[in-house]
Every structure is written in C-alpha cells, then in structure tokens.
Amino acid sequence: MSAPRPDGPAEPTPQRYPSAPLRYAAATRPGFLSVTLIGCLVGFAAAYADGAPFDGLLAAVALVLALVAHAAGNVINDYHDAESGADAANTGRLFPFTGGSRFIQNGVLTPGETARFGYGLLGLVVPGGLWLASQAGGGLLAIGFLGLLLGWAYSAPPLKLVSRGLGELVIAACWLLVVVGADYVQRGAFAWTPIAAGVPFALLVANVLFINQFPDAAGDAAAGKHTLVVRLGADTAKWGYFGIAVAAYIWLVLQVGRDNLPQACAAAAFTLLASFHAARGLREHAREPAELGTPIKLTIAAANLHGLVLAATLAYARP
C-alpha cells in the first residue's frame, strides 16, 4: 500500500490546532456531520408535508442532539480504531475521507483524551433526549435508545459490529432513525412518510461508508477488522455498492408510484447520475484505492443532494 497522496489535504498536527476548543471541535470531523443535518431536514419536512405544525424549538433541540450524537460516534470510532491498530496500519488511506481523523496517530489528542471526549459527548445526549421525549412523546425514547446503542456498538467491543461486516446495516439503520426521530419530534407519532423518504437516503449514506472501506481494506484486515469489503474482497464487494444504490432508487420510485411520497420527490432520483458514475469508478479502480477520490466525493454528494431534494420537495408538497 502506498502512503497518503501528497496532493490531498494536510493531516492534523498539534501545531495546527494549538487551542483546546478548536482541537476538540475538529476531532468530531465536522465536515461529515452534514448527512445528519440533512437527515433531520428530511424528517422535519416529512412531518410538515403531512400537515403537522412546525415547532422551531423542538426542531432546534433535536438537530443539536442528533449532531452531538453523530460527533460522539465519530470520536468513539477513532478511539477504538486506534486501540485495534486499524488506523495505525492504514497506509492506503485517502485523507480526510478514510483512515480516521488521524488525531491520535499524529499526536493531536491522546487515546485517553479521545475516549473521554467521545463518551462524554454521548453522555450529553441523554438529558437533552429525555427532555425532548417529555415534550414530543415517549416513542422518542425508543428511537434515541436504539440510536445510541447502535452508535456505540458500531465500533466498541464486545459487539464491534463494523468488524463483523455489519457496518453498512448499522449506518443505514442509524440514518433512518435520524429521519424517523426528526419526524416524530414534530408529529408526536410514528408514520410511514419518514420511512418512505428515509430509506433511500439512509442507503446512500451507507454507501459512503461502503466505498470508504476500499482504501482502508488492507489496514483493516491487518488489524482484524473484518469489514464487509474485507470479507468479500474488492472484486466482489465493488458490486455491492451498485446494489445498494439501485435498491435506494427503486425504493424511491416505488414509494412515489404508490403515492406514499409526493410526485415531486421523484426529483431526488436525479442523484443516480452521481451514484452510478461513482459505481463505475469503483468497478474500474476497486484494487487501486488511490484512484477512488472522485468516486468517494460523488458518493458523498449523492447522499447529501438526495436528502436536500427530498426535504425541499416534501416541504413544497404540504397541502
């Protein structure tokens, strides 16, 4: 495996983050939190499209809690990948997309500081979530508990679900919960609309994780982190990306066709251009991780744009 490409962004160093607040904020990998912001927008818009009144305070609290939970998951994952040796062994990474934040490996934060910060963030979500559930309804407790459990179990022992080849399933479930939870905060009940809109978005978010595993595969395998890509091998796994994307767009078309989503939501299918272009790049370069920068960027763009279009068209369709 080759070292990180020299033309990519510079990795973090202690000199780059001299102040503690900046250091800890950057350790959450804020550039990746956009999918949670957009997932919340899809959920809020789903409730609004069905006629639920919009509560700005509850929406703001839900959004902040979701972002903090995602940030906690990012930091906890960095800690456990450092403990397992997966990030240290990862010489084929495409920073900043794969290989973790590099805060531990480059001496910006110690493993102990990272663990305390990550689990501290996770703990902060609990009191806010309890208050939010008292306002929105008890069903939010189940959503929040399952989300926190999956966020922890994704990388932490003894479950380490990503190391068991279940990472994509966990990610899809988590971001579906983001959409359903945001909807519940506004609606105060469970409904089908956020599931209809949330499934394709969650699948495209799962594809971000999936494609990121290709540059990381050698380091993951060396550390005993048996992700789905490690288990299947690059030549087989590359077709999995295409399958996940196809499933997302078929689900969207079916839900629009069955009037479970407004007709305008079909516009979100235009992001298949980015997804399929990324799938072609992955098929051509699955064994050349240094060439996957563009497919990874297209995958991130597809997930974010898909969610934004869903949110906009749902809100526009309110009767």
- How high is the pLDDT of residue 3? 43
SS3 state at 148: helix
- How high is the pLDDT of residue 318? 79
Phi/psi at 313 (5° precision): -75, -35
Q: How confident is the model at residue 8 (pLDDT cuts 50, 70, 90)?
A: low
- How high is the pLDDT of residue 92? 87
- Ramachandran class of 189: left when φ > 0, alpha when ψ lies in -120 to 50, beta otherwise: beta
Give the domain CATH number at 284: 1.10.600
Asked whether residue 6 is assigned to any structural domain, the reply reads: no
Average pLDDT of the residues in 148-160: 93
Whole-prediction pTM? 0.94
Q: What is the DSSP string of 35-98?
A: HHHHHHHHHHHHHHHTTPPP-HHHHHHHHHHHHHHHHHHHHHHHHHHHHHTTTTT--S--TTTS
User: What span, in angstroms and rounded, lies between the C-alpha atoms of 189 and 175?
Assistant: 18
Q: How confident is the model at residue 91 (pLDDT cuts 50, 70, 90)?
A: confident
Q: Which two tokens stand for residue 283?
A: 């098929």
CB 288 within 8 A of CB 92: no
Average pLDDT of the residues in 297-308: 98
Average pLDDT of the residues in 224-233: 95
Q: Into how many domains does the chain fold?
A: 1
User: What span, in angstroms and rounded, lies between the C-alpha atoms of 104 and 78?
Assistant: 8
Q: Taking each helix axis from N to C terminus, what angle separates 272-285 and 234-257, rounded to the nearest 10 degrees?
A: 170
DSSP conformational letter for 108: S
Average pLDDT of the residues in 4-25: 82
Q: How confident is the model at residue 210 (pLDDT cuts 50, 70, 90)?
A: very high
**Does the pLDDT value for residue 196 go beyond 70?**
yes
Query: CB neighbours of 207 closer than 8 A, spacing ≥ 6?
Result: 168, 241, 244, 245, 248, 275, 299, 302, 303
User: What span, in angstroms and rounded, lies between the C-alpha atoms of 223 and 86?
Assistant: 5
What kind and span of H or E run contains 26?
Answer: helix 20-27
**Planar angle of CA 43, 319, 315, nearest 5 degrees:** 30
Asked whether residue 4 is assigned to any structural domain, the reply reads: no
- How high is the pLDDT of residue 214? 96
| Lowest-confidence pick of 75-79, 82-86, 206-210, 259-263 | 82-86
Asked whether residue 12 is assigned to any structural domain, the reply reads: no
CB 220 within 8 A of CB 90: yes
CB 292 within 8 A of CB 282: yes
Asked whether residue 15 is assigned to any structural domain, the reply reads: no
Average pLDDT of the residues in 58-66: 98
- How high is the pLDDT of residue 1? 33
Q: Supply the mean pLDDT for the chain.
A: 94
Average pLDDT of the residues in 120-133: 96
User: What span, in angstroms and rounded, lies between the C-alpha atoms of 191 and 180?
Assistant: 8
Asked whether residue 61 is assigned to any structural domain, the reply reads: yes
Q: How confident is the model at residue 5 (pLDDT cuts 50, 70, 90)?
A: very low
| C-alpha closest to that of 118 among 84, 168, 68, 157 | 68
Name the residue range of residue 70's domain.
20-316
